[in-house]
Amino acid sequence: MKNECLAVALQELSLAGVRDVGRAYGGKHLQLRWRVNGTERMYSLPITPRDVRSASNTRAGIRRMLREDGLLITAERKPPERMPSRIERLERRVEVLETELKLLRRA
């Protein structure tokens, strides 16, 4: 049986440069173990995932740990630009119309 969570976890660890990932089986979960800067890290994942989000959750969990260890650097996120309010948009339109009116009066 194919374990998509295991494949995703190993792929993320490999992309981050983590080698020598150990596996420990116990109960209903599989544990992945590796060392980073002398610190042992461990992540538990289901042996038989049933949820369709399991692979996505595993990827997010592994990436979170890699970011904590400094192995995964993400781009700085800037806050989304605020949409101008209806009043602000109307004020801009009036300003443009006033400018156009001044130009027409000069001609």
Q: Is the dihedral of CA 69, 70, 73, 79 positive or negative?
A: positive
pLDDT score for 49? 83
Residue 80 has pLDDT above 80, yes or no: no
Query: Does position 21 have pLDDT exceeding 60, yes or no?
Result: yes
| Whether the predicted pLDDT of 102 surpasses 70 | yes
If you average pLDDT over every residue of the chain, what do you get? 88
Fold of 4-68: Double Stranded RNA Binding Domain (3.30.160)
Average of per-residue pLDDT across 49-71: 91
| In the chain, domain spans | 4-68
Please say whether the beta carbons of 45 and 29 come within 8 A.
Answer: yes
Task: Report residue 93 CA to chain centroid gap.
Answer: 39
Q: What confidence tens digit (pLDDT) does each residue in 82-101 have?
A: 888 899 999 999 999 999 99
Is it the case that residue 75 has pLDDT exceeding 80?
no
DSSP states of 29-69 = EEEEEEEETTEEEEEEEESS--STTHHHHHHHHHHHHHHHT
